[in-house]
Amino acid sequence: MNGPAMRLDQTEIQHWIADGSRILDLGCGDGTLLQYLQDTKNASGYGLEIGADQINACIDKGLNVIEQNLDDGLGNFADHSFDTVIMAQAIQTMHYPHRVLDEMLRVGKECIVTFPNFGHWKARWHLTVRGRMPVSDLLPYEWYDTPNIHFCTFRDFEVLCREKGITVLHRQVVNEQSPNFLKDLSPNLFGETAIYHLCRGENG
């Protein structure tokens, strides 16, 4: 079955999902990823979302979607009740990203986080040369009207993980637009989107 086109970070996520996994997708959008994981990985689980149109799109797909504001926490989910908790391109919209990360690793045995890299050279160029907050095709919002309130760079995120004792199982950088050899050279400068596969615990 051919679903709608997935973003690159969504395509990459599937490699880290075991067959038959129980998934919680935070900010699941129109449910494209969740449906894909159900169809190809025999995964089951829920998506959380607050956008009415997105929820409707999930209902159309027959997905289990729960209207729930992630900023209110995940207190209604039991410890380790999911194999993997996913948050794709949403952590930068959270009021307290570090608490969300803790909650994801409480509820899930593992978690996968993807976010836009604010250390990308275009963002740096906007700020240093033009003296303006970055607006690009990847982040097309003006600073005063954006859902993205907590930007970080890849390096920032790794520092947070280290401080929290979070183990990075895998990391990957994907580019929708820029050439790939540059991002391999210097991910924090040329990588557009980061994908982190995390767990709580020993051996990093």
Partner 1 sequence: MPETLPDDSVGLVTPQTQEFTEPLPLACGTTLDRHELVYETYGTLNADGSNAVLICHALSGNHHAAGYHSMEDRKPGWWDNYIGPGKAIDTNQFFVVCPNNLGGCSGSTGPGSTNPATGKPWGPDFPMLRVRDWVESQALLADALGIRCWAAVVGGSLGGMQVMRWALEYPDRLRHAVVIASAMKLSAQNIAFNETARQAIMSDPNFHDGRYLELDTVPKSGLAVARMIGHITYLSDYAMGKKFGRELRSGSFLRGQYDPVEFQVESYLRYQGDSFANNFDANSYILITRALDYFDLAREYDDDPVKAFKEAQCKFFVVSFSSDWRFSPQRSREIVDALLGAQQPVTYTAIDSPYGHDAFLLPSERYREAFTRYMAGIAREAQPTGEPA
User: Does 173 interact with partner 1 (rule: CB under 8 A)?
Assistant: no
Among 55, 111, 173, 174, binds partner 1 (CB under 8 A): 55
105 φ, ψ (degrees, to nearest 5): -85, -15
Question: What b/e string do you get for 3-42 counting C-beta neighbours within 10 Å, with b at 16 or more?
Answer: eeebbbbbebbeebbeeebebbbbbbbbbbbbbbbbeeee
199 strand-pairing partners? 110, 167
Q: What share of the chain is helix, strand, coil (3-state, %, to 5)?
A: 35, 25, 40
Within positions 15 to 34, which residues make up the interface with partner 1, using CB under 8 A?
22
On whether the CB atoms of residues 57 and 30 are closer than 8 A, the answer is: yes
Give, in order, the Cα–Cα distances in Å from 102 to each of 11, 75, 107, 118, 204.
Answer: 25, 12, 9, 22, 17
User: Does 37 interact with partner 1 (rule: CB under 8 A)?
Assistant: no
Q: How far is the CB of 62 from partner 1 (least distance, A)?
A: 5
Strand pairing class (108-116; 193-200) = antiparallel
Closest to partner 1 by CB, 18 or 78: 78
Within positions 57 to 86, which residues make up the interface with partner 1, using CB under 8 A?
58-60, 62-68, 76-78, 81
Tokens 């999930």 correspond to 58
Closest to partner 1 by CB, 59 or 159: 59
Q: How far is the CB of 64 from partner 1 (least distance, A)?
A: 5
User: Does 52 interact with partner 1 (rule: CB under 8 A)?
Assistant: yes
Q: How far is the CB of 200 from partner 1 (least distance, A)?
A: 21
Looking at 35-43, 54-62, 123-131, 165-173, which segment touches partner 1 (CB under 8 A)?
A: 54-62
Q: How far is the CB of 19 from partner 1 (least distance, A)?
A: 18
Contact residues toward partner 1 (CB under 8 A) are 22, 46, 52, 55-56, 58-60, 62-68, 76-78, 81
